[in-house]
A and B are shown apart, each in its own frame.
Chain A
Amino acid sequence: MTRSEDRLTAAFLLVALVALFGGVLTGFFQAIEHAGVDVYPSTPIVKSYYHSLTLHGVLNVLVWTTFFICGFVPFLTTRALGTRLARPGLAWLTFWLMLGGLLLAAIPLVGNAATVMFTFYPPLKAHWAFYVGLTLVVVGTWLVTLNLALTWRAWRRQHPGERTPLAAFMGLVTFAMWTLASLGLAAEMLVMLIPWSLGLIAGTDALLGRALFWFTGHPIVYFWLLPAYMSWYTLAPRQAGGKLFSDPLARTSFILFLVLSTPLGFHHQYTDPGIQIGWKLVHAFLTFAVFFPSLLTFFNVVASLESGARARGGRGWVAWVARLPWGDPSLAAQVLAMLLFAFGGIGGLINASYNLNLIVHNTAWIVGHLHLTVGTAVTLTFMGVSYWLVPYLAGRALWSRRLALVQVWSWFVGMIVFSNTLHRLGLMGMPRRTMIGAAPYVLPEWKALLPLVGIGGTLLFLSSVLFFLNLVLTLVVSRAPAPAVPAFAEALSGPDHAPAILDRWRPWLALAVVLIAIAYGPTLVRLALTTPFNTPGLRVW
């Protein structure tokens, strides 16, 4: 580890992995609770099912993802540009700010004073340190954006007229999109939750809180996904022995994600009173629009993998899949993540469908869906990335490739069992975020399936134990030198084919702002003007 950037990435990864461990452990408790094993009376620290669920959500979807991304994306972006970060000092300040924020939020979180789920809907009232801590983490992500932008600008001065390398382009788009999208959450925190939790204002408002949360809450999914896509587009084709099919199409889809990720959060609020039906429909339209760049990604990535498999002697329409280098755990993890993500994408369309949403909203179906997207497309891909990134940062070879392959496949199988069962339970009307083992109304048809939730969750937990075991043994036992970092894939159709306008930032950012203003402006203005902020806070856990 010679580069300061490498040490920075290692620091972010360490926090991310510790959070992942806490998250999967509490997740395991919840899964077996559904199967009838209530461990909470005998667990230290974890006070209740709902305390556990809050820990699981915050640690896995907020901390693991964000810290991994803030380590991985600048790493890949600077390598693609062939430069250092413009402000290494700022980068370290960012890390310590985010870690400080995380620890501040962790005090009430772990102490059962913020058992409000990772969505923290007011008027459930957590300790102020929870809101302030999470806000500092978000501010840290903005500083990452700033550092990446300054780095790119310095690179641009030295390379006028050159195309931004694809991985760097994707890293910049990811953080630009996120910074714009996080404004909703920032507003919720700064205007409502923080002053309210500090006792400066008496009341809050549930609808405005949810509207601002979901302004950020849907695009945050793309903030997690786009770094996984970066790996699928710029590394996986080469790991598969092939080339990226189309660089212009990849850039196009990322620009569309930049423009379309945010103005669609009402599809999480179809069943909320207080938002006009017409605006809900507009957000449904825009959610379907963002399916378009997803389909482009699906095609481009699969075509790239196919080029690798064919170069390795693959034949036929589908049979080529067998010729992918399945012995490489990093690639295997990513390909399996893509496979399950196809179902996550289809499920997402069902959720976004104005009418079908009535059947699945807030049921176990949603939990099944989220575990395919962030729990597999993102997490399994990040595990695959960890299989080369951690050895590289540690300067030692991965302890066992075979163990890694077992881990990757057991995650895949465990997730199929777990997620499929939750989808089915959701269709049978089982609510999410509910201590089902203690609920008085469990229907016989749910009862028949609930053991599968426990089995799937146990498989996932065992898989994650293998993952951590392998990484720890890599650090402690492994003595072989680290292999090289995967090189960026070349493209069959290269960046010189991409329209020049894709490299310009202002028109796309402007378009994104305009779309957000159209989709959200009238409702947010109306709510801001009419909301009485008269709902008192409650601590009911």
Chain B
Amino acid sequence: MATRKGTTVYLYELAWILPSFAIPVGMLVALVVTAFGAGIHLPGLERRIDPTKVAETPPFDKPGLVELAPGRYEVRMTAQIWSFAPREIRVPAGSTVRFWVTSKDVVHGLLIPKANVNLMLLPGQVAFAEARFDTPGEYLMMCHEYCGIAHHTMAGTVIVEARR
């Protein structure tokens, strides 16, 4: 090893290794700062549910939209082959919506691209996401995990209405 120090190869290696180490570390710092600074929420440990008894288990026995406070909504949603219930959600612009979702059968997904909602829906698990809908319009929501032969028909809409 002693003879190796000072050789050209060694110097080039050092000149590369140091930034190679610094770059991922720098990106990690940026990641942590933006993830938590921007308040991005990933699903964590929510709770289990018996996947064969979703229809009897509150709050999924009554799927739908609930207004918690002015401008604050909660939607209790089930995913099943090949639909979401409810299929359509209507909220006024500027609303915050909390999604509580579970699957009644196979693995599904919930993707609302324009609201940054991206969830895996697993039978046996309750998934949670929160999104704010400021701009009026129709937001497409889709299942984004293969769930059988008609997977591509599994979709719905969030309709955000302009406030008068």
- Which A residues fall within an 8 A CB radius of B? 48, 50, 53, 117, 121, 123-124, 205-207, 210, 245-246, 249, 269-277, 280-281, 284-285, 288-289, 291-292, 295-296, 299, 303, 349, 353-355, 357-359, 361-363, 428-429, 431-436, 438-441, 443, 492-493, 497, 499, 530, 532, 534-536, 538, 540-541
- State whether the Cβ of B148 lies closer than 8 Å to any Cβ in chain A: yes
**Cross-interface CB contact of B44 among A246, A277, A292, A433, cutoff 8 Å:** A277
Known: A273-B127, A536-B52. A441 touches B155 (CB 8 A): yes
**Cross-interface CB contact of B123 among A50, A269, A535, cutoff 8 Å:** A535
A432 to B118, CA, bound (A): 13
Q: Which of B14-22, B59-67, B70-78, B90-98 contacts A (4 or more CB under 8 A)?
A: B14-22
Sample 29 A-B pairs with CB under 8 A, ordered by A number.
A50-B146, A123-B123, A124-B146, A124-B147, A206-B123, A206-B124, A207-B122, A207-B125, A210-B122, A269-B120, A271-B109, A271-B120, A272-B125, A277-B42, A281-B32, A288-B27, A288-B31, A355-B40, A359-B118, A429-B111, A429-B140, A436-B152, A438-B152, A439-B152, A440-B153, A493-B13, A497-B1, A534-B51, A540-B106
* A362 close to B107 (CB less than 8 A): no
* B52 close to A123 (CB less than 8 A): no
A404 to B17, CA, bound (A): 36
Within 8 A of A (CB), among B106-121: 106-107, 109, 111, 113-114, 116, 118-120
A432 to B142, CA, bound (A): 11
**Cross-interface CB contact of A497 among B4, B40, B105, B153, cutoff 8 Å:** B4
A102 to B12, CA, bound (A): 47
- Chain B residues near A50: list those with CB within 8 A: 146, 148-149, 151
**Chain B residue, CB-CB nearest to A280:** B42
Known: A245-B9, A362-B109, A433-B146. A530 touches B48 (CB 8 A): yes
- Chain B residues near A121: list those with CB within 8 A: 106-107, 145
* A274 close to B45 (CB less than 8 A): yes
**Chain B residue, CB-CB nearest to A428:** B113
Known: A273-B125, A433-B146, A540-B147. A292 touches B42 (CB 8 A): no
Q: Which of B21, B52, B103, B146 has the most CB of A within 10 A?
A: B146
**Chain B residue, CB-CB nearest to A49:** B152
Measured CB to CB, the closest approach of chain A to B59, in angstroms, equals: 15
